[in-house]
Amino acid sequence: MSTQSSTKKQFTTPDFFAYKEAKKRIVMCTAYDYTQARLVEAAGADVLLVGDSLGMTTLGYDSTLPVTMDDMLRATASVTRGAPSSYVVADMPFMSYQSSQQEGMRNAAALIAQGGASALKVEGASLEALAFIEALVAAGIPVVGHLGLTPQSINALGTYRTQAKEVEEVIRLMMDAHGLMTAGVCAIVLECVPTEVAQELSDMHMLPIIGIGSGVHCDGEVQVFHDLLGLSDFKPRHAKRYIDGAGTLDKALKEYVQDVRNSKFPTKTQSSSIDQNIIDDAASIFVEHLIEKVEEMGGSAEFIQDDASLDLDPDFEAVPEDSSRFFNGGSRAHLN
């Protein structure tokens, strides 16, 4: 019996802990489709995240809340096809497990089995989230937690701002991180908390803390593809633009538009050609066929020119009504 082997992953779940122990920083980057995934894998990132930030970056929403399981599933499957040797984490979107754990498990199974994700990310550390994470881990599904600024709770938080600036908030964060560790997560994404808070959390735990907007002392970093490459209008403070992607693409696309308008594109390089004799033969056979058909219907073949071309005269109707079917399903030609 032959066994089917999937492509070997460069990074595995135990590597989250191994990297932390070896003080090797974990590099994570979002990707939302096949092409982006190919680019991120080729760049050598350890982990790809199909974040529900795709709601903003790709679908044009103003928050992650409208993102559906179908959106996540399609994106995850295209990312895993584009980055077959990468460890891919997929977000559980808003309300994909809160209404019932059974539905949550079904949705999680789809992202793993159909989407090809290696792990899932769950936001927050509410009682429902912790119970759900425990069930996933028990089913053999690795989970990455997400604390600090949790965009799925934007309506409760009020604004996208730095979290855990007061003692009570820091204590809450420490308790939540402890809860996630006990529930069995393999890493925590920590979004938008002060550098010192992130450092303290990283020092407290064996768990890798993967920061975004949380300073340099985390055990790794995650950033949004569009922010790094300057593809969105919005530039969060925590992001560094490595290229003015939008500007570069804009210039290239404008050049394309001008080239087409000015007949500078396509050139011979982008075109194919055949011998002119083939065209001449095809045209005369076509015209002969046309004459036959028109004459069969009692029409006149006077419109045929010496050079076998048709001279179309909109004022002269030489073709009977019902011959219209020869001219592309009903658009009547008036032949001279």
Interface residue list for ligand KIV (CB under 6 A): 30, 49, 51-53, 91, 146, 189, 191, 212, 222, 224
Residue 54 or 319: the one with the smaller Cβ distance to ligand KIV is 54
Please count the other Cβ atoms lying within 10 Å of the Cβ belonging to residue 100: 9
Known catalytic membership, residue 103: no
Please report how close the Cβ of residue 190 comes to ligand KIV at its closest, in angstroms: 9
Omega of the bond prior to 142 within 30 degrees of 0, cis?
no
Residue 220 or 290: the one with the smaller Cβ distance to ligand KIV is 220
Exposed, middle or buried: residue 311 (CB in 10 Å: 0-12, 13-18, 19+)? exposed
> What is the rounded CA–CA span in Å between residue 141 and residue 138?
7
Which residues have a Cβ under 8 Å from the Cβ of 236 and sit 6 or more positions away? Answer: 213, 227
> What is the rounded CA–CA span in Å between residue 146 and residue 209?
10
Which residue, judged by CB position, is nearest to ligand KIV in the bound state?
A: 51
Please report how close the Cβ of residue 183 comes to ligand KIV at its closest, in angstroms: 18
Which listed residue (41, 123, 191, 221) is catalytic? Answer: 191
Catalogue the E-assigned strands of the chain: 26-30, 47-50, 87-91, 119-123, 143-148, 187-191, 209-212, 220-223
- What one-letter code names the amino acid at 59? L
Please report how close the Cβ of residue 282 comes to ligand KIV at its closest, in angstroms: 55
Please report how close the Cβ of residue 16 comes to ligand KIV at its closest, in angstroms: 15
Residue 49 or 129: the one with the smaller Cβ distance to ligand KIV is 49
Residue 242 or 256: the one with the smaller Cβ distance to ligand KIV is 242
Supply the residues annotated as catalytic: 191
